[in-house]
Amino acid sequence: MISTLRNAWKIPDLRSKIVYTFMMLVIFRLGSVIPVPGINIDYVRAIVSQAGLLGFFDLFSGGAFGNMTIFALSITPYITASIIMQLLTIAIPSLEEMAKEGEEGRKKIAQYTRYATVVLALIQAAGISIGLFGSALISRDPFSVTVVVLTLTAGTAFLMWLGEQITEKGIGNGISLLIFAGIVSRVPFSIKEIWFQLQQGTLSPISLIVFLALSVVIIAAVVAIQEGTRKIPVQYAKRVVGRKMYGGQSSHIPLKVNQSGVIPVIFAMSLLSFPQTISLFFGQDSGFANWVATWLNPNSINIWGVVIYSLLSAVLIIFFTYFYTAITFNPVEISTNMKKHGGFIPGIRPGKPTTDYLNKVLNRITLAGAVFLATIALLPTILMRITGMQIAFGGTALLIVVGVALETMKQVEAQMLMRHYQGFLK
């Protein structure tokens, strides 16, 4: 990875893309320390430190939520809006036709997603300002509340724009990189917490060693699964066009074990935070907020609350893995293209039998990838319940960090390979 980055730095346009991405992430981190006007930050920190699920949300915002900065809502409303739009694209025929129109259709859907993001951000900002952190408002007059709501909403809208700019002009997926930067920025804080627990004697060195060993295993496993592919052999028949003979060569279709990357984990996390968003309107001491904290919280005192949260998380991760794989890989289209070019899978007839075979193989390896994602996401939570360690940097965070790093490096390598081809053609 280091050698790839070193080689990429030598290419002028790639270097400018890397610098641009880095500067956008610096802007993101700068905005994460600018407080929202009219809020008592100490009160907010006290609430976030007591509520487990809020602390989990604070991790993915890079500490912006706990410090009530302009980026406190993070990019979560955009992710939720993306989930809603993708589900509606399947349910509503007009949106499905729009998605098939190509670039123009995708631009329209992206525009609808932006509108939905602003609406969701407004709802969440109102819930935080009026409900959960209502007592943190220095002044409760309508003007002060409006300023807080609009500031939080504008922060999310700016992050959405920032992510799109990184995707368009930088390296990697902008939204994923913003989440990546937020999680990585909390690593020093997590190390400080672990050191404090060791000094206080609340954490044993053996438990720390076990957790670190498990983290290394998780990282290695994520890399192995992300890189794992099932190669489907494809043979192309010989055909004569004029005086030339084409085809006759062998190739393969690489089916990735984890076709969807870390998207299912991010989607599941966003969906599970939705009840928490609703509870913001009722306040921290309300019955609904207490119910969410008890039964939908990975750090709940009630063991059954942890079990329910873990099961829901696993089911959602598996569902979104299949859902996103179905969107990104179309066996019917692959089969049709193979048939047009005289390709076939040895032992399988072209057409529908090929489509059925690809579906069968894809379903099997997707199940393996989905179960793996769910297991890795939940394993550290189980370990923390057993060892008593209380650190935020768990399996979900590790999955996202390693997955985003791998995907970004692949994009860098693809950009370098494309430029090598261009140089060869010149």
At residue 244, does pLDDT exceed 70?
A: no
At residue 53, does pLDDT exceed 70?
A: no
Map out the domains of the chain with their CATH numbers.
Answer: 2-425 (1.10.3370.10)
Handedness of CA 152, 158, 163, 164 (dihedral sign): positive
Half-sphere exposure of 333 (CA within 13 A, CB side): 6
pLDDT digits (tens, 9 = 90+) for 319-346: 988 988 888 888 888 888 888 877 888 8
pLDDT digits (tens, 9 = 90+) for 179-228: 888 888 878 877 887 788 788 877 778 877 877 887 788 788 888 887 88
At residue 63, does pLDDT exceed 70?
A: yes
Tell me the β-bridge partners of 250.
235
- What span, in angstroms and rounded, lies between the C-alpha atoms of 368 and 163? 31
Q: Where is 202: in which H helix or E strand?
A: none
What's the rounded mean pLDDT across residues 261-269? 79
- What span, in angstroms and rounded, lies between the C-alpha atoms of 25 and 21? 6
Calculate helix-pair angle for 303-328, 263-272, nearest 10 degrees. Answer: 130
Q: What percent of the chain has pLDDT over 90?
A: 8
Write the DSSP symbol of residue 132: I
Look at 35-39, 122-126, 202-206 and tell me which has the smallest mean pLDDT.
202-206
Which one, of 124, 188, 180, lies nearest residue 404 by Cα?
Answer: 180
Q: What is the pTM of this model?
A: 0.76
CB-CB contact of 355 with 332 (8 Å): yes
- What span, in angstroms and rounded, lies between the C-alpha atoms of 272 and 266? 10
What's the rounded mean pLDDT across residues 244-270? 77
Look at 49-63, 100-114, 360-374, 390-404 and tell me which has the smallest mean pLDDT.
49-63
Structure confidence at residue 422 (pLDDT): 47
Query: What are the φ and ψ backbone dihedral angles of 260, each rounded to 5 degrees?
Result: -100, 0
User: In which residue are the tokens 């949106």 written?
Assistant: 95
| Type of residue at 121 | A
Specify the higher pLDDT residue, 386 or 52: 386
Structure confidence at residue 423 (pLDDT): 46
Structure confidence at residue 165 (pLDDT): 92
CB-CB contact of 233 with 346 (8 Å): yes
Q: What are the start-end ranges of the E strands in 313-367?
A: 343-344
Structure confidence at residue 424 (pLDDT): 40
Q: What are the start-end ranges of the E strands in 188-249?
A: 229-236, 239-241, 244-246
Specify the higher pLDDT residue, 314 or 87: 314
Name the average pLDDT for the chain: 80
Q: What percent of the chain has pLDDT over 70?
A: 84
DSSP string, 58-100: HHHTTTTTTTTBTTTTTTHHHHHHHHHHHHHHHH-HHHHHHHT
